[in-house]
A and B are shown apart, each in its own frame.
Chain A
Amino acid sequence: MKIGIAKGLLYYIYYPLWRTFFEKLGCEIIVSDDTNKNILDRGIKDFADDACLPLKLFRGHILELASKSDVIFVPRLVSVAKHEYICPKFCGLPEMIKNSIAHLPPIIDETLNMHKNGSMEEMRGFFMSVGRHITNDKSAISEAYSEAVKAQRGYDALLRSGFLPIDLLGDRQDKAFREIKSARDYSQAIGIIGHPYVIYDNYLSMGLIDKVRQAGYGVITPENVADDVIDEEADKLPKHMFYTFGKNIYASAMHMIRSKSVKGVIYMSAFGCGVDAFITELVQRRGRRLDNIPIMILNIDEHTGQAGVDTRVEAFLDMIKWRDQHEGDVPAYR
């Protein structure tokens, strides 16, 4: 059976888990192509204008997969942690896809909801139901799940050690350990924060990570920051931040600033993201009160051009270099 997996949304976080699971069950995985203009245009066409860019893009990837797969995996990821959600749109993701695309192959749209207690049992239950779409052999599903969790742990460990999803997924994978240096191999680093499907999608982010690395800086992202550090920073908020990725983005930014492990922070946010609307605000206001480290917010939409992003990133990096040479006594903003 050919299972379609879209290269969008949480692909960048969970691909090793999903892939191992399905492969162990004997499925062939079809991953959509890297994002390109055509995929994005197809996603946007005949869809709500005001939907966020990553959602439109995800829809484009599904349209790509429709003709190539027997089944498409569009899980309903309501919650992946206790008392947290990802985003209201993740709750209705399969419904939005099904009702806005005619002639789709069948969809695996099981629900994962760990909101109540964050228990891995929920996760297991979720995969048991997913597996049932493929086989009735419960022990095979269970075994595939264990293998998948193992693969995911390995992936997470690499992320925490300084590699990024773009180093580990896709065609760079083999090169990762030879050529791409992890953030620790650089003497200076820039924090790049944002939702994973924005900053790790080379098309959406206009190659931001590579660009910063080419300028000689290591890149640290929320995925590099350890869970307990995230929790410690997030606990300083007056109220529990109930969006998992919003929390990761906010807390990792605060950590980077507090520990002075970065020279500057670039927050990339895609058009229409309701979570970012709040998190950018918190990062800027609280980050500035914390320390004098430059923060730049880069908003991108479907009309953003490469040149515009390049100019802003270059100017930002120049400013950082200049500050460095002048012993950092320059205000971080304006």
Chain B
Amino acid sequence: MKVTFPHIGNTYIGVKAVFDALGVEVVVPPLCTSRTLELGTRYAPEMACLPLKVTLGNYIESIERGADTIAITGSCGPCRFGYYGVVQQEILNDLGYDAEILILDPPQDGDFKPLFSRLAKLGGPNVTAGKAIKAGYLGFKIIKEADELDRMILKVRPREIDKGQTDAIWGKYRADVIKAFGPYEILKVIRRAKDEVRAIKIDKTFQPLKIGLVGEIYTLIEPFVNLNVEQKLGNLGVEVNRSIDLSGWVIDNIFLGLLGLSSEKRIKKAAKPYLDLCVGGHGRECIGNTVLYSRKGYDGVIQLMPFGCMPEIVAETILPQVSKDENIPVMTLILDEMTGEAGYQTRLEAFVDLLKRKREKERAKKHYGLLLGH
């Protein structure tokens, strides 16, 4: 059995480590390129959401490299994500591939059996529960450290004195990490990159604009799909904070989710006046995080979502009200296979300009108020 999985941000780094440690043969899909997207778009239903298309492209590219089993997590609604596997399997069958998609659904009504039997199938006969837990722990640790590196980069990029230094380190790290074998080597690559980022000279007096990213998880954490939004904003001198990262999602969905718990009461509480129940995906979190960013003094919020994303459309229609009440500009960026580099960059620049003007105006007001002794 040769296992593969979809690309979602840093997932591959951790998942590869887990399978390496377990001795399960794994095919890491090539990093997403325009070919990935093209394959997915060609074979997926036109109105399907973008993540379904891109991940379908991942599978095909992995199958071309010998993968025969595709492991994905699932859900049982309310979002479409839970049915990806079924639709994609139909498509692969009709294309004549005999790869099997293994959907790891969270247990319903406390019935863990289907999940465990699928996990056992993935691991094969040589994997014991103890081994699996240890590998899983290492994988999680790696994803956590990779996320930490991402966050460091977000802080350093707008403040670096020699422009382009961060990007160079990031590029080299991405190339190195995919080549590393086994959890320990992978960790070494991550840590080396961290040291390099730490060594970058920054302008400590610079106060960058701060933008929070909210929205659908896949578009938030897969740089290919969001056209490197963090890098683009960082190079416009903006400090970016991403409301969701993979390690947070793993904690929520794999650990707590499987037990039927969920975290992040704070976010739910902040969303409450606007949306007091789950609408699937990260719709509620999108609202809650926007409120929280405003309270933390961020200058603006960007909502990222694939075209047609159901939970995010719910959020999108509510956000204008949140923006008004909380006095924070919010821009929605809808991504699909047609999203072009140029128009995208222009929108980001326009938004950053707007935030700059707003900040200056508010500073001037404050200053003026001080002069008058208010």
Residues of A at the B interface (CB closer than 8 Å) are 47-48, 50-52, 55, 76, 78, 83-85, 87-89, 91-92, 95-96, 99-100, 111, 237-243, 269, 272-278, 280-282, 285-286
A238 contacts which chain B residues (CB < 8 A)? 86, 89
Contacting residue for B87 out of A55, A95, A242, A278, CB 8 A: A278
A243 contacts which chain B residues (CB < 8 A)? 77
B86 contacts which chain A residues (CB < 8 A)? 237-239, 282
Report the 7 A-B pairs with minimum CB-CB distance, sorted nearest first. A277-B47, A92-B314, A242-B77, A88-B280, A85-B78, A88-B310, A99-B321
- Residue ID in chain B nearest A49 by CB atoms: B334
Shortest distance between the CB of A119 and any CB in chain B (Å): 14
CA distance A89 to B80 in the complex (A): 12
- Residue ID in chain A nearest B89 by CB atoms: A238
A85 contacts which chain B residues (CB < 8 A)? 77-78, 280
Asked if A100 contacts B308 (CB within 8 A), the reply is: no
Q: Is B342 an interface residue (CB 8 A)?
A: no
Q: Is B275 an interface residue (CB 8 A)?
A: yes
Asked if A95 meets B274 with Cβ closer than 8 Å, knowing A88-B280, A240-B76, A278-B87, the reply is yes
Asked if B317 contacts A47 (CB within 8 A), the reply is: yes
A277 contacts which chain B residues (CB < 8 A)? 45-49, 80, 308
Asked if A99 contacts B320 (CB within 8 A), the reply is: yes
- Residue ID in chain A nearest B276 by CB atoms: A95
> CB-CB contacts of B309-350 with A at 8 A, as 1s and 0s?
111011111101100000000000010000000000000000
A87 contacts which chain B residues (CB < 8 A)? 78, 310
Asked if A51 contacts B79 (CB within 8 A), the reply is: no
A76 contacts which chain B residues (CB < 8 A)? 277
A96 contacts which chain B residues (CB < 8 A)? 314, 317-318
CA distance A274 to B80 in the complex (A): 8
CA distance A137 to B94 in the complex (A): 59
Interface centre among A88, A276, A282 (most CB of B within 10 A): A88
Asked if A95 meets B318 with Cβ closer than 8 Å, knowing A242-B77, A286-B90, the reply is yes
Asked if B334 contacts A50 (CB within 8 A), the reply is: yes
Asked if A51 contacts B45 (CB within 8 A), the reply is: no
A-B contact pairs, 18 of them (CB 8 A): A48-B316, A48-B317, A85-B280, A87-B310, A88-B79, A88-B314, A92-B283, A100-B321, A237-B86, A239-B74, A242-B76, A242-B82, A274-B310, A276-B47, A278-B87, A281-B45, A281-B90, A286-B90
B278 contacts which chain A residues (CB < 8 A)? 91
Apart from A51-B313, A88-B310, A280-B45, 4 more pairs, CB < 8 Å:
A52-B313, A84-B77, A100-B320, A239-B74
Asked if A272 contacts B308 (CB within 8 A), the reply is: yes
A239 contacts which chain B residues (CB < 8 A)? 74, 82-83, 85-86, 103, 105
Q: Is B307 an interface residue (CB 8 A)?
A: yes
Asked if A51 contacts B317 (CB within 8 A), the reply is: yes
Interface centre among B74, B89, B105, B279 (most CB of A within 10 A): B279
CA distance A269 to B274 in the complex (A): 30
CA distance A284 to B141 in the complex (A): 44
8 Å CB interface, B281-311 against A: 281, 283, 307-311
Q: Is B128 an interface residue (CB 8 A)?
A: no
> CB-CB contacts of B144-158 with A at 8 A, as 1s and 0s?
000000000000000
8 Å CB interface, B24-66 against A: 45-49
- Residue ID in chain B nearest A281 by CB atoms: B45
Asked if B313 contacts A50 (CB within 8 A), the reply is: yes
CA distance A100 to B309 in the complex (A): 18
